[in-house]
Amino acid sequence: MTDSPQAHWDARHADADIRQDPLELLAATVSAAPENATALDIAGGTGTDARWLARQGYAVTLADVSPVALERAAELARVDGFELEGITTDLESGPLPERRWDVIHIANFFNRRVLASVHEHLHPGGRVLITIATTTNRERNEHPHPRFLVEPGELASLVASPTDGLDLVRFDEGWRANGRHEAWLVGQARSL
């Protein structure tokens, strides 16, 4: 019998080492938050990137399937002097929270339905930042599993279309400093 997604991720996050530095695309793209700016970190696990966003001044919501990860993230944020709002949700089967944010960050989470609807959850002028390994990554790395990988060129077509109100700011793919072949995408919601 297979564990539920929540049980799987709870077990992984219970004793996992906590990454200290934000992902490269996030650190290269996001700067200090404007007043009252909000951010959503999707499937952010123990919250390294969420805590980094909080240090930049964002009011951060962390959405993850694992209550264990959210608890660890909240504890680490309190030590850092920040609060994180945690939402336990299985985004493989459920929708994104019905709100809008100024920044949405997605790293290493691949769900076509979520990616296709992410623009609906941005304030006008808001940005989405996405980092996902491509199938080319399998040339050098055993993980992640192929079902969590995008095909070369696929990410841009999933997220940005001429009618969805999201402009492509950046899209590129390549071998990154972390040794993975990743697609990076930054999209910006059109202002009304």
pLDDT of 49 over the 80 cut = yes
For the stretch 107-166, pLDDT in tens is 999 999 999 999 999 999 999 999 999 999 999 999 999 999 999 999 999 987 666 789
So what's the pLDDT on residue 176?
Answer: 95
Please state the pTM of the whole predicted model.
Answer: 0.87
Nearest to 104 by CA among 86, 85, 119: 119
User: pLDDT tens-digit profile of 66-93?
Assistant: 999 999 999 999 998 999 999 999 998 8
Give the pLDDT band (50/70/90) at residue 1: very low
Cα–Cα distance, 43 to 71 (Å, whole number): 14
Question: What structural domains does the chain harbor?
Answer: 5-16+23-189 (3.40.50.150)
C-alpha angle with apex 94: 91 to 100, nearest 5 degrees?
Answer: 75
Tell me the C-alpha distance between 42 and 83, whole Å.
17
Handedness of CA 192, 114, 132, 102 (dihedral sign): positive
Q: Are 73 and 50 in contact (CB under 8 A)?
A: yes
Q: pLDDT per residue over 161-185, tens digit each?
A: 666 789 999 999 999 999 999 999 9
Confidence of residue 32 (pLDDT cuts 50, 70, 90): confident
Q: What is the mean pLDDT of the chain?
A: 88
Measured between alpha carbons, how far is 87 from 95 in angstroms, rounded to an integer?
12
Q: Distance between CA atoms of 132 and 58, rounded to whole angstroms?
A: 23
